[in-house]
């Protein structure tokens, strides 16, 4: 006998992967864990006749010869994983898109870092010329969208997007999709979110705004990751963590969300024994003190700056500048010659202002071209320091609606970073 299964707390990507596996291994029996996410449960109850799924109770483990595991790679994520682990002579296949280290010895595996596991499996189906029904395409797209935040999470790969195209081509129904992907935000989730908001605190760690919140939870509350997601947006921080202490106090769930690429939540929760991707992740901890968990998270955040590229790596240097006595006419000529849109203005070593093309609009008569730049420049230039990240620079330029930032190193003008320097960095790749 062959059995297909996936992780507890089955989400759409996991269910979609199980269904895809039934097409790839027609002789295998699909087995779902007892704990399904509420939206998956709702989907299955509507499609009861379409997807014939078994539960662990229906299966005699001693008869299994081959176990096909999808969307996870750890025994403890499976229902009765400890029993399966001990089953003798079991051949194990894994299809998974998670990066963490696996504790399962396999005879065969397909592991690749993609936004959703269904992306890898759909590719295999296409390769084997297996066709999929509109209902299957709809389910697959649910999984793909849920795991990639409708292709918006930073973990999304080009292959995820191609797969979305393929599934829509195969008649995935976007109306059904919308119905089921609607997150389960109910009274319980609202209560937790309100409690969190009452005690919300913001902190700066490595120049990112961070909020770590701790709440006690009574009974089972689903969709806590959605609550953290909303919390992060409302408190308006780059990174939010929720520490949910389950009543009794011997267990807690840590859920994190990051909105900046430099802070990888997945690697933070992985070092706590959990899992996730760049933008979202969670970990389950046993018998812990919540203050210690909070400190642990903050410590990890301090050490988790992934950006190895800094402003100094992409800024222009040496800088063209003018003295404050330079005439506007001269400035215009320099801007034209150098092909730039603005210049720092200095008094000796000191930065005293910035002049940009925009400032020329203030000129009313031609004679003003003889006036010194001092009369027209912006005397309060926004500056940045060399060790900041390019994304930080880009945000400052957007926030202040300016095209360039002088880079100041210990009071000395060390370079200048322009909007196009930042754009080149984001779109072209890293500097040499
Ligand atoms: Mn997945």
Evaluate whether 334 touches 283 at the Cβ level (below 8 Å): no
Work out the average pLDDT over 377-394: 87
Between 39 and 160, where is the model more confident?
160
Work out the average pLDDT over 274-283: 86
Ligand 1: distance of its center to the CA of 400 in Å?
Answer: 39
124 in the same domain as 13: yes
* 139, 155, 181 - which closes a domain: 181
Q: Show the domain range for 393.
A: 311-428
pLDDT at site 427: 62
Question: In CATH, what number is assigned to the domain containing residue 22?
Answer: 3.90.1640.10
Ligand 1: distance of its center to the CA of 212 in Å?
Answer: 25
Work out the average pLDDT over 324-346: 91
Ligand 1: distance of its center to the CA of 13 in Å?
Answer: 5
Ligand 1: distance of its center to the CA of 112 in Å?
Answer: 12
Number of domains in the chain: 3
Between 48 and 105, where is the model more confident?
105
Starting from the edge strand earliest in sequence, which strands make up the sheet with 322-323, in order?
322-323, 342-347, 350-356
**pLDDT digits over 49-104, tens only?**
789 899 999 999 999 999 999 999 999 999 999 999 998 889 999 999 998 889 99
Between 339 and 415, where is the model more confident?
415
Question: In CATH, what number is assigned to the domain containing residue 228?
Answer: 3.10.310.30
Q: What percent of the chain has pLDDT over 90?
A: 57
Ligand 1: distance of its center to the CA of 391 in Å?
Answer: 28
48 in the same domain as 137: yes
Evaluate whether 329 touches 352 at the Cβ level (below 8 Å): no
* 303, 338, 369 - which closes a domain: 303
Ligand 1: distance of its center to the CA of 15 in Å?
Answer: 9
222 in the same domain as 120: no
Separation of CA 425 from chain center: 19
Q: Which of 3-12, 146-155, 295-304, 418-427 has the lowest mean pLDDT?
A: 418-427
Nearest to 426 by CA among 402, 399, 393: 393
Between 159 and 364, where is the model more confident?
159
414 in the same domain as 352: yes
Evaluate whether 182 touches 138 at the Cβ level (below 8 Å): no
18 in the same domain as 126: yes
pLDDT above 60: residue 307: no
Nearest to 12 by CA among 150, 126, 111, 169: 150
81 in the same domain as 35: yes
**pLDDT digits over 281-296, tens only?**
999 888 677 888 898 8
**pLDDT digits over 230-267, tens only?**
899 999 999 999 999 987 767 889 999 999 888 889 88
pLDDT above 60: residue 428: no
pLDDT at site 183: 61
**pLDDT digits over 14-25, tens only?**
999 999 999 999
395 in the same domain as 297: no
Ligand 1: distance of its center to the CA of 226 in Å?
Answer: 16
199 in the same domain as 143: no
352 in the same domain as 298: no
Ligand 1: distance of its center to the CA of 117 in Å?
Answer: 5
- The confidence band for 31, taking pLDDT boundaries of 50, 70 and 90, is very high
Ligand 1: distance of its center to the CA of 39 in Å?
Answer: 15
Question: In CATH, what number is assigned to the domain containing residue 412?
Answer: 3.10.580.10
Q: Parallel, antiparallel, or unpaired for β 404-409 and 251-258?
A: unpaired
pLDDT at site 188: 86
- The confidence band for 432, taking pLDDT boundaries of 50, 70 and 90, is very low
If you average pLDDT over each of 120-124, 227-231, 286-290, which comes out highest? Answer: 120-124
Work out the average pLDDT over 145-168: 94
pLDDT above 90: residue 402: no
- The confidence band for 144, taking pLDDT boundaries of 50, 70 and 90, is very high
98 in the same domain as 133: yes
pLDDT at site 308: 60
Ligand 1: distance of its center to the CA of 333 in Å?
Answer: 57
- The confidence band for 430, taking pLDDT boundaries of 50, 70 and 90, is very low
107 in the same domain as 171: yes
pLDDT at site 128: 96
Question: What's this model's pTM, rounded to 2 decimal places?
Answer: 0.60
* 128, 161, 181 - which closes a domain: 181
Ligand 1: distance of its center to the CA of 74 in Å?
Answer: 13
Evaluate whether 391 touches 379 at the Cβ level (below 8 Å): no
Ligand 1: distance of its center to the CA of 115 in Å?
Answer: 7
- Can you tell me the distance from the alpha carbon of 37 to that of 181, in angstroms, rounded to the nearest whole number? 11
pLDDT at site 431: 39
- The confidence band for 304, taking pLDDT boundaries of 50, 70 and 90, is low
219 in the same domain as 200: yes
Q: How many CB atoms lie within 10 A of CB 283?
A: 20
Ligand 1: distance of its center to the CA of 11 in Å?
Answer: 7
**pLDDT digits over 365-379, tens only?**
888 889 999 999 999
pLDDT above 90: residue 340: no
Q: Which of 36-50, 116-130, 359-373 has the lowest mean pLDDT?
A: 36-50
Q: Which helix (H) or strand (E) holds 232?
A: helix 224-235
**For ion ligand 1, residues whose CB falls within 5 Å:** 13, 71, 117, 147
Q: Which of 65-69, 167-171, 217-221 has the lowest mean pLDDT?
A: 217-221
- Can you tell me the distance from the alpha carbon of 377 to that of 302, in angstroms, rounded to the nearest whole number? 39
pLDDT above 90: residue 348: no
| Mean pLDDT value across the chain | 89
């Amino acid at each position: 006998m062959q059995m297909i299964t996936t992780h507890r707390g089955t989400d759409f990507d996991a269910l979609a992967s199980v269904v895809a596996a039934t097409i790839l291994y027609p002789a295998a029996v699909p087995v779902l864990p007892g704990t399904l996410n509420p939206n998956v449960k709702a989907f299955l109850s509507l499609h009861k006749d379409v997807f014939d799924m078994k539960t662990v109770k229906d299966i005699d483990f001693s008869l299994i010869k081959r176990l096909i595991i999808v969307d996870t790679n750890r025994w403890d994520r499976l229902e009765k994983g400890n029993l399966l682990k001990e089953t003798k002579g079991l051949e194990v296949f894994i299809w998974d898109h998670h990066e963490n280290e696996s504790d399962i010895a396999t005879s065969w595996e397909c592991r690749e870092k993609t936004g959703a596991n269904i992306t890898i499996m759909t590719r295999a189906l296409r390769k084997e010329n297996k066709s999929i029904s509109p209902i299957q395409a709809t389910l697959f797209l649910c999984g793909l969208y849920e795991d990639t935040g409708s292709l918006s999470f930073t973990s999304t790969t080009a292959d995820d997007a191609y797969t979305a195209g393929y599934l829509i081509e195969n008649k995935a129904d976007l109306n059904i999709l919308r119905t089921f992907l609607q997150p389960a935000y109910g009274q319980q989730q609202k209560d937790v979110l309100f409690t969190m908001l009452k005690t919300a605190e913001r902190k700066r760690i490595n120049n990112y705004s961070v909020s770590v919140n701790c709440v006690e939870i009574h009974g089972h509350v689903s969709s806590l990751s959605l609550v953290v997601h909303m919390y992060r947006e409302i408190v308006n921080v780059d990174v939010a963590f929720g520490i949910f202490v389950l009543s009794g106090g011997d267990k807690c769930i840590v859920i994190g969300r990051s909105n900046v690429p430099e802070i990888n939540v997945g690697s933070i929760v992985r070092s706590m024994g959990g899992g996730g991707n760049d933008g979202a992740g969670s970990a389950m901890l046993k018998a812990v003190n919540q203050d210690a968990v909070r400190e642990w998270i903050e410590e990890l955040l301090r050490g988790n700056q992934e950006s190895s590229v800094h402003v100094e790596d992409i800024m222009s240097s040496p800088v063209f500048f003018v003295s404050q006595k330079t005439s506007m006419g001269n400035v215009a000529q320099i801007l034209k010659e150098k092909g730039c849109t603005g210049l720092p203005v200095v008094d000796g070593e000191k930065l005293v202002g910035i002049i940009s093309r925009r400032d020329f609009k203030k000129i009313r008569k031609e004679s003003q071209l003889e006036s010194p730049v001092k009369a027209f420049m912006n005397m309060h230039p926004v500056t940045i320091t060399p060790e900041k990240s390019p994304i930080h620079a880009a945000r400052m330029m957007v926030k202040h609606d300016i095209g360039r930032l002088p880079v100041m190193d210990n009071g000395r003008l060390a370079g200048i970073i322009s909007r196009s320097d930042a754009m080149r960095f984001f779109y072209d790749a890293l500097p040499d």
